[in-house]
Amino acid sequence: MTSPRRLDLRAHACPMTWVKTCIALERLAAGEELEVWLSAGEPVDSVPRTAAEEGHQVVSLSPLDGGAPSGWRLVLRKGMAEARLALP
């Protein structure tokens, strides 16, 4: 698999962090990875949780540069979320 695409959202607050992450995920094929840089607090709490609720896999979540003050590195693997949109 190729290296993940990177999205630096440390300058953004919720809900824009999820909106921008969602748009980036929509551009990927199922199984591709997205690396998202987030600031501490609500973004690092809500983006991984919402991604998992939407059917994506949280591959890893770790501090950038070894410490939380510079932000967090989240790696997501796009799931098959579009399959949930099929009509019954």
The two structure tokens encoding residue 82? 């579009």
Contact 50, 15 (CB under 8 A): no
Residue 85 has pLDDT above 50, yes or no: no
Contact 61, 71 (CB under 8 A): no
The two structure tokens encoding residue 34? 């997205």
Task: Determine the pLDDT at residue 87.
Answer: 42
Which residues 6+ apart lie within 8 Å of 60 measured at CB? 73, 74, 75
The two structure tokens encoding residue 84? 């949930």
Superfamily of chain region 5-79: TusA-like domain (3.30.110.40)
The DSSP H or E segment spanning 44 is helix 42-53
- The 8-class DSSP code of residue 30 comes to T
Whether the model clears a pTM of 0.85, i.e. scores above it, the answer is no
Mean of the pLDDT values across residues 66-74? 76
Distance CA 71, CA 62 (A): 9
